[in-house]
Structure 1
């Protein structure tokens, strides 16, 4: 009897896991803009109701005015960030020939020194290793140029298609939020009268308490680390401070890589170049980002999700394997959803 019960529980766990995977893979991409619109409206709804019920503003102005201010603030913030990123990316591409020439000169100098050492230790003719290294560098450069020429149009097409998808996504979210201004109360009333209200409400409550805690924590960490890294590169007078700060903050979200993969080697390079102040700034930025992640994850995730670090790391790793980069978020959310459904299915 015990074996039968254990097998039944195992099959239920497998079935729920497969169902969650199918949902995350095939349904969530289509439902996500509507879910995001609903979550944003749930955040704005108390403000709208306060302006209408307490401040006695007309419903039209309290609700749609709040929505217009929200759209305006978000658009101004992201517009400024995107414009700054665009200018820095444009500057990077403009300076690529300069960086290429600098890199070639650096490698040629190092190859010449390294080649002389090889010739000396292996009793080769002078210049043999140097010639071989130069030929390999030329071959790599030729193959890289060929690869870029063959794939540049694919990259441009991919960027244009992704831009279109992002634009369509934002339009759907905005239109959905405008419609939800009138439909929030009827939607809630209809949901409460549904026969599925109790189980769905139980699952959504667990996902909200655990899953949204994870999203909020990772979002706060991403924002703070992005600010710290951008400020550090700004202080060392790097022209790409915002671009590098955002890139390193995103890299820090990966469980294995972290911000130290960039900040520590760069800091050591500056230290060896006798730029001690700039090196100390990057080392300090690394320590701050490390403390931010350790403190916030320990306090917010541990209390909100009730998952230990090992299970969280496994969820992120499996999520990346199953869903790609988005698995950083979808992995833990899938685990929370599976756990909630198992609690609902257990007698």
Structure 2
């Protein structure tokens, strides 16, 4: 039977490590997250930067001149930003065209919606034995009040949140500049950082934490990014085949909504399919259901295949850690929760095992 003192030490160790992880995630992580992201970017750019450096060496008067890794990495980042900007411009232009087309067709859409509602209201009045036009008047009054509320609330909302948007844009700009400079400097000092890390007395802990962060973060981002892109493609192609003029806009919206916690493709596709089937548009209704089924099984299969056993948690542990992380850290907790649980388990196993071994040696 275990001694109570050893159980108490183990309990205090778990509580202490859990508290330390929570404080680190809550207060320390927001301060260092730009530099962690910069380190990951630098690791990603380093192979290509070294390749360019080796092929851009010049010998002048028996002296070898090479381009600094910081310069090469900075140029690569700028090129990536230009390519990304072009893609965003082309995609944004297409989205604006579809949004403009949607606004132009909005009166017709609202008229068809009104006609559909009035028809079903008349049918409901007959079933419920209500006076003719009773439910029609109620629905029209609700729609009218809804439009008035939106118009009355739009301008105050914009006025109140204008400064918030400006502050947010300034913060994003500052974050981007810091991230760019930190990535360039980290790329240049990568070797020195590794030497200091390996010579540190906490080198094992650094390696353990780094491996956990990279494993969980890479698995989660790879899984969600791949699923989101595949969902966007499936939805866009499906809507295009059904002749929807907003197939790109709707495909992107459904893909982003599917990536958000709690929501999913069914948030849009299922009500839309039901509405189409009730309207006797069988082809569109069945097509939307087919898209939903494909996206559902796509997510299930890809999550199981990509995540697999990389994270090292059971499904129940993953669910509990994600929910706890959501409650403590917001949406970012969906990533921080599993990472925190793994770090707690590793540290407790490391130091709990050492305490147990030392206790056995003292007993002997």
Q: Calculate the TM-score normalised by the size of structure 1.
A: 0.82
Shift of 1:252: 2.0
Computing the radius of gyration from Cα coordinates, the structure with the larger value is 2
Give the conservation status (yes or no) of the 8 Å contact 1:199–1:344.
no
Unaligned residue ranges in structure 1 (runs of 5+): none
Please name the residue that 2:87 is paired with. 80
Unaligned residue ranges in structure 2 (runs of 5+): 59-64, 354-364
Give the conservation status (yes or no) of the 8 Å contact 1:321–1:327.
yes
Give the conservation status (yes or no) of the 8 Å contact 1:116–1:130.
no
Please name the residue that 2:190 is paired with. 184
Q: 1:63 to 1:109 in 2, by over 3 A?
A: closer
Give the conservation status (yes or no) of the 8 Å contact 2:69–2:187.
no
Please name the residue that 1:310 is paired with. 316
Please name the residue that 1:22 is paired with. 23
One of 221, 227, 233 as aligned partner of 2:239: 233
What's the CA shift string for 1:156-188, capped at 9, x where partnerless?
443333333222222111111222232111222
Give the conservation status (yes or no) of the 8 Å contact 1:88–1:243.
yes
Give the conservation status (yes or no) of the 8 Å contact 1:215–1:329.
no
Runs of 4+ displaced beyond 6 Å: none
CA distance in 1 between partners of 2:232 and 2:326 (Å):
22
Please name the residue that 2:164 is paired with. 158
How large is the RMSD of aligned CA atoms in angstroms? 3.3
Q: 1:320 to 1:172 in 2, by over 3 A?
A: same
Q: How many residues align?
A: 345
Give the conservation status (yes or no) of the 8 Å contact 2:70–2:185.
no
Q: 1:227 to 1:2 in 2, by over 3 A?
A: farther
Please name the residue that 1:247 is paired with. 253
Which shows bigger deviation, 129-138 or 42-51?
A: 129-138
Does residue 345 (structure 1) correspond to residue 346 (structure 2)? The answer is no
Q: 1:143 to 1:74 in 2, by over 3 A?
A: same
Which shows bigger deviation, 240-249 or 27-36?
A: 240-249
Shift of 1:328: 2.8
| Partner SS, residue 339 of structure 1 | helix
Please name the residue that 1:44 is paired with. 45
CA distance in 1 between partners of 2:288 and 2:129 (Å):
43
Q: Calculate the TM-score normalised by the size of structure 2.
A: 0.79
